Structure 1
Amino acid sequence: MQGNLKEIDIRGILQLIELGQRTGVLFVEIDGSDNGKKFGVGNALGSDAKSPDCPQSWFVFFLNGQIIYATNGCHLSPLSDYLRHYRIKERLEDIQIPLLKSPSIPQYEYIWVLLQQNIINPVQARGIIQNLISETLFDILSLYDGRFIFKSYPTLTPLLSAWEITPIVAKMTVQLQEWKQLYPFIQSPDRFPVLADITQLQSSLPRTTLKKLQLWADGKTSLRQLSRYLNRSILTVAKAMYPYVQQGWVKFVCSVTNNDTIELQNSIPELEVDCKARVVCIDGEREIAEAVELTLRQQGYEAIALTDPVAALSQVFQLQPNLIICNTAMSPLDGYEICKMLRNSTAFRLLPIVLLVDAREHHSPIKAKMMGATDCLTSPFGNTELLKLVERYMNYSVIGDRDRGTTLVDPIQYRVKNNITESASLNKTSISN
């Protein structure tokens, strides 16, 4: 099976592979010499073919109609970026691997060698592969032109896991639809964010948030790379930056060779990062948990997302948070049960616990109070509601946290201006999306 993407789109090809329970590899290629063929007019993403991290070909591997691996070429930089998230210091170039069985996919061989040498664990390996699959589909589902070939190919061995096509394609399709809403402020995941208005940033943002933006928008890291470093989707990271881009405080550039960009970055004084109050968000929906985490980190909090309600019970004892946000709609433990269990512990008897409840369930606030919740937040909600609620229950008087040796900062001193807070609550960046 082969052809042109003008004749049949990627969704149709993937559907045929799934229905036929095919085993093989799908190769997608665009003409790198013509920017309009990839991520140009008529595509969801915009990009620059000169970008070193901008793929021109993709491989998707299937076993019996399920995706087992995907990659955006033969280079190792994506894998290195994901390893950076796990703070793995070994360089791939220094790792000896056996003779590659498949020269076109060295990433897969390296993942298994990393597993065998206990440099990464199976959970991390599956997470990396799933991220590579999502990133690849995010790219190819936006193409309107290009060539494709699907042919039989021996299954990759050893096999770590497999993913059903329909759910992951549906998820990426939604992300691409939301990505279009960021246009024209954010056009390409392969462009580089830089700080543009230092005066406004310094006067309007907390020092911790500004320090984060210094690290993120350094003019040397593309949005795509940044999403890998943070282990977040490209869309999630783009949404976190969107309010600042709207204000003109952050901009995206095509090249990192601009001397003005370097001077701009060097003009910002180094800031000491204040230790932050710790917020734990427990939510079985990964997208919601990650959105809450990024929104709070953006405002200077140390936010941690937990998606396994059972494991979260033991983790919160180790994390010792200052506030817990927990969704009621989870299984096998829901938020009500988690709240009740935590209240039975002396360590969490007085800790603020906020439950996320469904607006359609009118009895939820009463049930939440009966289980010991401090307050409720009705879902869907925006960033402004979330930040106001968190600020209400955090202990912000300037005190020393002796257990952690940290200092909590008065938010009034570093509060974000209303225009940024309000822009963050737009439906384009709403957590309810």
Structure 2
Amino acid sequence: MQGNLNEIDIRSILQLIELGQRTGQLLVEASFSKQDDLTQDESIRYRHSKNSRKQSWFVFFLNGQIIYCQAGESNLSRVDDYLRYYQVETKLDQKQNISLATQNVPEYGYLWTLLERNIISPKIAHSIIQRLVHETLFDLLSLHQGSFIFRQGAALAPQLISFEIGPLIAQITQQVQEWKRLYPQIQSPEQIPILVDTAELSSSLSLATLQKLQHWADGKTTLRQLARYLNRDLLTLAKAISPYVQQGWLQLVDSATTSLALTPDSAGQDHDHPRIVCIDDTTTICEAVESILKLHGYEAIALTNPLEALGLMFQLRPDLILCDIAMPELDGYEICNMLRHSTAFRLVPIIMLTGKDGFIDRVRARMVGATDYLTKPFDDSELVMLVEKYVNYKSFMGTPKKYKTC
């Protein structure tokens, strides 16, 4: 059995394997490039993936039940992340590490080696396998393109645990749907949380909770790693931090985006000049807006990738947003609507840029929460006058800088 995910989805493939009580392994591969027609979720995955060109997953079955899942060519770091929670020191010698590296499923062999040496108990191994299966299926059930092949054959041995497919995919599908509702504040398991406003957090949280946040939000640990370290479900963790992200007290940094070279300190700090962000997939428009606004004393940042721009909004914290309407992947209406669902952007002026001077476009812009619109092509004076209407430069320079929230 093999094919493409645009013909049959992962859920259906798993159900067919369960129905046929098959034994063997499923390989799923996805190759991403900037030219691909990606869904929103896959575009985010492409940005955050450490191996953005190609990703693979393996699912192992015994009589129609799942016994293990592995993400790509694992380097054992996933297991080590969970062992950290149990404060387990592996102490494997070089010969054993080399032996594991040559196995077809090194993670699974690693766990069994730890079991055989009594470094971990069957209960801990059971828990780690369950977590690894869940997180791998979470990624797979979020996938909408790629190829797959199922090969019947001998089962992965020995077996410690097996999972019924029906209840498992029902549970994880629900989690995937709930995860999507956290967008755009939380976009990817590979985002890194950073504390921005410790003062506000200290007034809302206990000292013990704040200290834990300060310890884990170190600018290096991703959400997925944090979930492993705490032995918690990724969705539960994301829901717990979501209110702080919405308030702007906690920030999620796109680890794959380096073009702006934002540091944890500079990304969230107050800025001396009004910060204007322009989102437009046309490079000439972006360059023109940057040039015009910088000449008039504004800090102007132009972004041509709408998906990337949406993630960066929570780092840049602009005082005004210029957003084109007609863009691929995400149009201006969708971006405006998503930002307005965050308390951090409820009062930030959003001006829509459009090549159409039509009544319907204006109505739609207002319906999604746009503040105003500017018809292209526009001249220097039109742009500056509209920006000055909503961002008073002199007033900005003469008052304490605080990002607008409600």
Partner of 1:61: 60
Pairwise mapping of residues 84-233 of structure 1 onto structure 2 (< 5 A)? 84-90=84-90, 96=96, 99=99, 103-233=103-233
> What letter corresponds to residue 213 of structure 2 in structure 1?
L
Instruction: Assess, with a 3 A threshold, how the Cα gap between structure 1 residues 97 and 216 changes in structure 2: closer, same or farther.
Output: closer
Pairwise mapping of residues 210-289 of structure 1 onto structure 2 (< 5 A)? 210-255=210-255, 260-261=263-264
Superposed displacement of residue 8, structure 1: 0.2
Q: Is the 8 A contact 1:28 1:58 kept in 2?
A: yes
Any gaps of 5 or more consecutive residues in structure 2? 269-405
Q: Is the 8 A contact 1:244 1:250 kept in 2?
A: yes
Q: Is the 8 A contact 2:48 2:190 kept in 1?
A: no
Superposed displacement of residue 103, structure 1: 3.2
CA distance in 1 between partners of 2:155 and 2:245 (Å):
44
Pairwise mapping of residues 38-53 of structure 1 onto structure 2 (< 5 A)? 41-43=39-41, 46-49=44-47, 51-52=49-50
Q: TM-score, normalised by structure 1?
A: 0.56
Q: Is the 8 A contact 1:31 1:146 kept in 2?
A: yes
Any gaps of 5 or more consecutive residues in structure 1? 266-422, 424-433
CA distance in 1 between partners of 2:263 and 2:98 (Å):
45
Instruction: Assess, with a 3 A threshold, how the Cα gap between structure 1 residues 44 and 74 changes in structure 2: closer, same or farther.
Output: closer
| Cα shift readout 1:22-49 (whole Å, capped 9, x = no counterpart) | 0111111111444967xx6343893344
CA distance in 2 between partners of 1:112 and 1:162 (Å):
15
> What letter corresponds to residue 58 of structure 1 in structure 2?
W
CA distance in 1 between partners of 2:98 and 2:157 (Å):
14
Q: Is the 8 A contact 2:192 2:223 kept in 1?
A: yes
CA distance in 2 between partners of 1:95 and 1:264 (Å):
45
Superposed displacement of residue 111, structure 1: 0.5
| Cα shift readout 1:82-141 (whole Å, capped 9, x = no counterpart) | 111111122567572684597331000010000000000001111111111111110000
> What letter corresponds to residue 66 of structure 1 in structure 2?
Q
Instruction: Assess, with a 3 A threshold, how the Cα gap between structure 1 residues 95 and 235 changes in structure 2: closer, same or farther.
Output: farther
CA distance in 2 between partners of 1:92 and 1:32 (Å):
36
Q: 1:184 is paired with a residue of what secondary structure?
A: coil
CA distance in 2 between partners of 1:68 and 1:110 (Å):
15
CA distance in 1 between partners of 2:252 and 2:59 (Å):
30
Q: Is the 8 A contact 1:48 1:254 kept in 2?
A: no
Instruction: Assess, with a 3 A threshold, how the Cα gap between structure 1 residues 237 and 95 changes in structure 2: closer, same or farther.
Output: farther
Superposed displacement of residue 58, structure 1: 0.5
Superposed displacement of residue 69, structure 1: 0.4
Q: TM-score, normalised by structure 2?
A: 0.60
> Identity percentage over the alignment?
54
Which structure's CA Rg is the greater one?
Answer: 2
CA distance in 2 between partners of 1:191 and 1:92 (Å):
31
> What letter corresponds to residue 16 of structure 2 in structure 1?
L
Q: Is the 8 A contact 1:45 1:187 kept in 2?
A: no
CA distance in 2 between partners of 1:237 and 1:92 (Å):
31
Instruction: Assess, with a 3 A threshold, how the Cα gap between structure 1 residues 52 and 244 changes in structure 2: closer, same or farther.
Output: same
Pairwise mapping of residues 282-297 of structure 1 onto structure 2 (< 5 A)? none
CA distance in 2 between partners of 1:142 and 1:14 (Å):
14
CA distance in 2 between partners of 1:118 and 1:53 (Å):
34
Instruction: Assess, with a 3 A threshold, how the Cα gap between structure 1 residues 231 and 22 changes in structure 2: closer, same or farther.
Output: same
Q: 1:43 is paired with a residue of what secondary structure?
A: helix
> What letter corresponds to residue 211 of structure 2 in structure 1?
K
Partner of 1:74: 73
- Tell me how many residue pairs correspond in the alignment: 264
| Cα shift readout 1:244-285 (whole Å, capped 9, x = no counterpart) | 0111111111128756226889xxxxxxxxxxxxxxxxxxxx
Superposed displacement of residue 153, structure 1: 3.0
Superposed displacement of residue 213, structure 1: 1.1
Q: Is the 8 A contact 1:45 1:189 kept in 2?
A: no
CA distance in 1 between partners of 2:103 and 2:7 (Å):
30
Superposed displacement of residue 73, structure 1: 1.6
Q: Is the 8 A contact 2:90 2:114 kept in 1?
A: no
CA distance in 2 between partners of 1:195 and 1:93 (Å):
39
> What letter corresponds to residue 263 of structure 2 in structure 1?
D
